[in-house]
Structure 1
Amino acid sequence: MESVSRHATSGICRRCLSSALSNSSYSRTTRPLSQLASPSPQLTSHRSGPRMRAKLAPPKTLSTSSVKRSLSLFGRKAEVAQQDAHDSARAQRVLRSDDLFHSFTHSPIPEIRQRAAFIRQHAYCPHPDHRMTRAPIDPGQTPVSSGNVAAAHVDFECPDCGIPVYCSEQHWADDYEAHLQICDTLRQINEDEHDLRSGRFFPEFEYAGPQMEEAVVNMTNWDTFLYTREFEAINADRSMRQVTRLLTYPLTIGSILHELSPYNIRKGGRLTPEGLKSLSALRYTLHPPRTGGGVGIQGLRPEAPPVRLFILGARAESSLPRNVWVQLAHLFPRGKFHLIFIGPESMANRDDEFPLPPRTASNPFGAIVEDRVWPTMKISTIVDYYHTLHKTGHFYPYDPYFDCFVMFHPGLGHPASSHDWAETVPLLLETKAPILVTGYTQHDMERDIAWVNKTCHGEFDMLMEPGENIFRSLRWDLNDLDPQDISCGNWGVWAFRGKRYEATRKEDE
């Protein structure tokens, strides 16, 4: 059949073939990648970090293997469509792969020049001669600054990393030894930002399609996962950093809930006995046994309701392209999901959808419902605080077999955001459902755990010991309010839930 297809297309000119492919249902939709994973400096805050500017509508993609195996009149349409995408990207290319390092201030990319201006207006020089302007990032560090010179905004760009870091060249030279600790990472951030806006073709954003149940997924690390999920080979470190920046959100959840999870109760697996109980309930729901059901009347079988994932304090993750979240559905072929993004910032970077739906009797909280994301996945977004919804009983009843809470970088213990969670966390413990929490850094994670211990001491069980997330983002991010503060998405992960008291009966003597 392949030879017949080649002969059938040999007499068609390239322009006609490209036109036919553009109308074909198998053609891929290419989106500007700078909108998928680029942070927005104007929206950077002390706890949210750099945000990703992403559009809501998912590209209509098929798995690479299914496209390659498709048999039709245009047997080589996948290769031609990919070549056309390469040609269009080459025509719009701004930077070459060997020309990605540029000064932020004099960058050829307007967005990066605006970001440099934002950093100059808000970030302060970290030289010790200046008065202290912030608390140390790590409690074990010495004070950031202890001098008597007035604080000054950064103005001098390091020639090695190209990012404004000090107020003057003299202060940069005096404190050069301390700057060397993060200079290489800042340069990597610089090049990754320019790479996103270089206009090149991004094959790493062509995600894999549905997974065959007979093909086992290996979740040992990023490399084994991408290989067993039949992603296109990613041979460059920079491409790996770009793709993990987005996939870290669904994979962090999937790696914990999957039956082949790398987190287990064995030594070093970090799962506690209570965690095994909670996650076993969810895994039982997400991996249902085969029942022999079918599409006919005789094949009707009772099915479990979808697992509800409440993503609280949602920010950048709510605006991810939907084909990124669909990767979570591909990990559980027979499971069903209902993702519920909740938080006052859950509509950030989704300006195309405003104004929000009106609050009516049938939709009391003005939820935005997307029920066509995937046959087994539904997404709802509610711009409100969770404790407000909880008190109304809108999601009642809660079941540990079907409910799970997720908080990406919530800042539970941060002085500027802990008050937002003071009313929410005790209500979460009442549900007895597992709560997955991630952190930007080890200090950020430990600060959240200390706050929960202080606020709800004795009322929660630890499900997973804190530690580095296997599926963390490999790309580092820069806090525009403080260039010394670098972190990566979902660096660490831990889990807890409300304590369950086992009732025992005392036998009469």
Structure 2
Amino acid sequence: MERSLPHPLLQEPRVLLKPGNLFHPMDESPSPSMREKAAYIKANAYCPHPAHAHTHPSHLSFTCPDCGVPTHCSKEHLYEDYENHLLICDTLREVNEDEHDLRSGRFFPEFNYPGVQLHEALINFTNWDTYLYTRGFEAVNEERSLRQLTKLLTYPTTIASVLHELSPYNLRNGLTNEGLKSFAALRYTLHPPLTGAGQTIKGLRLQSPPVRLFILGARAESSLPREIWHQLAHIFPQSLFHLVFIGPQSMLGWDSEPSAPSPDPHNPFGAVIERVSHHMKISTFVQYYNVLHDANYFAPFDPYFDCFVCFHPGFGHPGSSAEWEATLPKLLETKVPVLCTGYTEMDLSRDVDWVKRECEGEFDVLLEPQENRFKSLRWDMNDDDPTDLSQGNWGLWAFRGKRYEAVQKEGIFTA
């Protein structure tokens, strides 16, 4: 089933703003979508002034003149609470200008992506600067352009930074002994030896099956332009990939939000299949993973070819933890790595604590929780609460179900 994706830069193609004229109060913006965003914030967010702790909460109606974002119910409450607002005012202004930049209609040279990585050109995963340089991206000289680029690239690059043989995550930087075992298996598959294959029949060589990346609870990442995800195929040019987006919201954000195909014997769960290139296939399931697991749809699993990825899963969030209770035991059962990220340090810690509490003694940590080297450099604002700021994939950690190895003791094998 073919599909088209919306491109945020094509929503308002008319040049609205110049680089030096990006600041506008959201409710007075020349961009209609920004005015709609301001209206949504005013209708759904509540004033953070302490006085509302003892009275009925009030919706926002006053826009801060410094950041241009609706923040309080009145001018008086903003100035009385200005000491607290000052802590985030500059960041909110940056968010405002970045949003206007996306809608400015300018040419975005930072979104020109490089192709296949040459075998002799090594990638440096120390940080964003070294990565972009060694991958051959065009020079990004503006901080705003870098923020826009990393907002998208954080998803495939976070995965690549863990699975690549030159990963910065080693035994000195959070990788555990069990993590070394699991990721060494995947790296063995992703970096096959050069076989000298040629164009003739004599040069034919067997190729490994595709590496399957199961992206669970998929939301915004499932609607990313496919050239973003295809960066994985460029970083690992000798490997094949099958990306599997799974979750009830995995089709949100698609251009026309098509309904899934009707189930049939060849496609029992109505998956949307896309062939991005010879090296990458993408499947999308509007379904909970535990349903697919119980049907043995993806079995058997292989630690050399499979990996789960959960971007901001909200394991421990009160509003979403119940949805993961049936899925988590299934993930541990597969014994393959589960790579997870979090919006903030608190979000990541809450997820880690929930997994420890729910599955104590049943999993091994592969990568200790830490700040992600390839987090998004652009700040995101929660439209339901402008004081809630976060960065995509800020934190990173990984785990898998515990393996009980068989050992020989006094001539008897025990588990």
SS at structure 1 position matched to 2:409: coil
Distance 1:34 1:415 in 2: 35
Tell me, yes or no, if structure 1 residue 34 matches structure 2 residue 9: yes
Note the C-alpha offset of 1:336.
1.1
Distance 2:411 2:150 in 1: 60
Distance 1:445 1:34 in 2: 31
Tell me, yes or no, if structure 1 residue 129 matches structure 2 residue 51: yes
Pick the aligned partner of 1:383 from 286, 290, 296: 286
Pick the aligned partner of 2:388 from 485, 494, 504: 485
Residue 471 of structure 1 aligns to which amino acid in structure 2? F
Task: Map residues 54-69 of structure 1 onto 2, 5 A cutoff.
Answer: none
Contact 1:185 1:476 in 2 (8 A): yes
Match of 2:170 in 1: 264
1:38-61 C-alpha deviation (Å, 9 max, x unpaired): 9xxxxxxxxxxxxxxxxxxxxxxx
Match of 1:314 in 2: 218
Distance 2:98 2:321 in 1: 32
Pick the aligned partner of 1:104 from 26, 42, 50: 26
Task: Map residues 131-146 of structure 1 onto 2, 5 A cutoff.
Answer: 131=53
Match of 1:290 in 2: 194
Identity rate of aligned residues, in percent?
61
Note the C-alpha offset of 1:32.
5.2
Tell me, yes or no, if structure 1 residue 191 matches structure 2 residue 113: no
Residue 259 of structure 1 aligns to which amino acid in structure 2? E
Distance 2:7 2:341 in 1: 28
Q: Which runs of 5+ in 1 are unaligned?
A: 1-30, 39-88, 132-147
Match of 2:373 in 1: 470
Note the C-alpha offset of 1:505.
1.2
1:154-196 C-alpha deviation (Å, 9 max, x unpaired): 1111111010111111111111111111000000000000000
1:110-144 C-alpha deviation (Å, 9 max, x unpaired): 0000010000011000111112xxxxxxxxxxxxx
Match of 1:425 in 2: 328
Pick the aligned partner of 1:323 from 207, 227, 248: 227
Contact 1:460 1:497 in 2 (8 A): yes
Task: Map residues 167-246 of structure 1 onto 2, 5 A cutoff.
Answer: 167-246=73-152
Distance 1:34 1:165 in 2: 27
Match of 1:27 in 2: none
Note the C-alpha offset of 1:326.
0.7
SS at structure 1 position matched to 2:52: coil
Note the C-alpha offset of 1:328.
1.0
Distance 1:375 1:191 in 2: 39
Distance 1:458 1:356 in 2: 39
1:363-419 C-alpha deviation (Å, 9 max, x unpaired): 001111112x12211111111000000000010000111100000001000001000
Residue 445 of structure 1 aligns to which amino acid in structure 2? L
Greater percentage in strand: 2
Match of 2:3 in 1: none
Report the aligned-residue RMSD.
1.5
Distance 2:215 2:99 in 1: 27
SS at structure 2 position matched to 1:105: helix
Match of 1:495 in 2: 398
Note the C-alpha offset of 1:109.
0.4
Tell me, yes or no, if structure 1 residue 454 matches structure 2 residue 357: yes
Note the C-alpha offset of 1:301.
2.2
Match of 2:303 in 1: 400
Pick the aligned partner of 1:436 from 323, 339, 345: 339
Distance 1:319 1:473 in 2: 17
Residue 126 of structure 1 aligns to which amino acid in structure 2? P
The structure with the larger Rg is 1
Contact 1:33 1:202 in 2 (8 A): no
Match of 1:150 in 2: 56
Distance 1:508 1:329 in 2: 48
Note the C-alpha offset of 1:353.
5.5
Q: Which runs of 5+ in 2 are unaligned?
A: 1-5
Note closer, same or farther for the CA distance 1:32–1:420 as it changes in structure 2 (3 Å cut): closer
Residue 506 of structure 1 aligns to which amino acid in structure 2? K
Contact 1:120 1:155 in 2 (8 A): yes
Pick the aligned partner of 2:40 from 118, 129, 132: 118
Distance 2:88 2:63 in 1: 14
Match of 2:15 in 1: 93
TM-score normalised by length of structure 1: 0.78
Residue 130 of structure 2 aligns to which amino acid in structure 1? T
SS at structure 1 position matched to 2:366: strand
Note the C-alpha offset of 1:291.
1.7
Distance 1:241 1:35 in 2: 19
Contact 1:315 1:346 in 2 (8 A): yes
Pick the aligned partner of 2:241 from 321, 337, 340: 337
Distance 1:500 1:355 in 2: 40
Distance 2:198 2:262 in 1: 39
SS at structure 1 position matched to 2:256: helix
SS at structure 1 position matched to 2:238: coil
Distance 1:252 1:382 in 2: 22
Distance 1:203 1:261 in 2: 28
Residue 182 of structure 1 aligns to which amino acid in structure 2? I
Residue 9 of structure 2 aligns to which amino acid in structure 1? S
Distance 1:102 1:335 in 2: 47
SS at structure 1 position matched to 2:281: strand
Distance 2:103 2:175 in 1: 40
Contact 1:386 1:424 in 2 (8 A): yes
Distance 2:10 2:79 in 1: 36
Equivalent residue pairs, number: 407
Distance 2:196 2:210 in 1: 19
SS at structure 1 position matched to 2:122: coil
